[in-house]
Amino acid sequence: MWPFRSAPVIAPEKRAWVESHFAWAVANFGQDSLSAAPLITPTRTFFKSNRAAAAETAQRVFSEVKSLLSLDSVDVSLIPQGILPEQAARDYNSLTQVSGSFIADSKTPIITYDPRLLDHPIVFISTMAHELMHLKLADVVEDMPGGRATHELATDLHCVIHGFGIFQLDAADRMGWAGYLSQDTRAFALAVFLQLTNRPVDAALPFLSAHVGKKLRKMAAALSATPMGFSA
């Protein structure tokens, strides 16, 4: 057999980009923002809302996600898709995916959601985290690694950096779409998050399917074999 080298589990440029965002987050949000970040799980520890009328359920869970992202004091409207005011229904190049959108050209930012997502709590929470992350990063988009050209990718990534990695991976797995990041990149980012917050991979595995869990283990092994150049 010729001495071919095995391909890395994640491309070097993707790994460098992910790690640069973790380093940027530590530098801009503070070391404690990452080292003390919770691994958010689909449990009553983080989500205590009971099922009620659709709009009420959406608002309650939305408020819980806001709180987990330290956005409690930020004024933002949550509106089901289909009833947007006409002036806000135009294309502002801010749509993220069909399940939700972030519109910030008015005094009060608007986040929309597909009401059908309430039948898929993991996906709804992941979508709300993504849209709210747009709000959290709105003032620093130009300063982030890759700048505005990669802001949708960065928004997905920062959901992982802020503790929503399980939801990012599981939602894409359940719905059969990758969103902006690939599942491999998400798995690597979650492996980085777990390492930097001193958590074992086993902390996330009970909430992931077997094949996604396998990806996470593979990325964690690659990370252990070639350590990062910074720590939180």
In a domain? residue 3: no
Q: What is the pLDDT of residues 9-21, one digit of tens each?
A: 888 899 999 999 9
In a domain? residue 129: yes
| Residue tagged 């902006």 (tokens) | 180
3-state DSSP assignment of residue 96: strand
In a domain? residue 2: no
Residue 100 tokens, joined: 């939700």
Q: How far apart are CA 37 and CA 34, in angstroms?
A: 5
Q: How far apart are CA 41 and CA 217, in angstroms?
A: 18
In a domain? residue 102: yes
What are φ and ψ of residue 5, in 5° steps?
A: -90, 145
| Residue tagged 């990669």 (tokens) | 150
Q: Which helix (H) or strand (E) holds 100?
A: strand 100-103
Query: Model pTM?
Result: 0.87
**In total, how many domains does the chain have?**
1
What are φ and ψ of residue 109, in 5° steps?
A: -60, 150
Q: What is the pLDDT of residues 55-67, one digit of tens each?
A: 889 999 999 999 9
pLDDT of residue 107: 81
In a domain? residue 230: no
- CA 131 vs CA 88, 212, 217: distances in Å: 16, 24, 28
pLDDT of residue 87: 44
What are φ and ψ of residue 140, in 5° steps?
A: -125, 10
In a domain? residue 231: no
In a domain? residue 5: no
pLDDT of residue 10: 87
Pure H helices in 51-198? 54-68, 121-137, 151-159, 165-175, 183-196
In a domain? residue 4: no
Residue 163 structural domain = 12-225
Nearest to 171 by CA among 216, 217, 126: 126
Q: How far apart are CA 225 and CA 222, in angstroms?
A: 5
pLDDT of residue 7: 62
State the DSSP string of 174-225.
HHT---SS-HHHHHHHHHHHHHHTT--GGGTGGGS-HHHHHHHHHHHHHHHH
* Segments in the chain below pLDDT 70: 1-7, 52, 83-98, 105-106, 177-179, 229-232
In one-letter notation, the amino acid at residue 5 is R
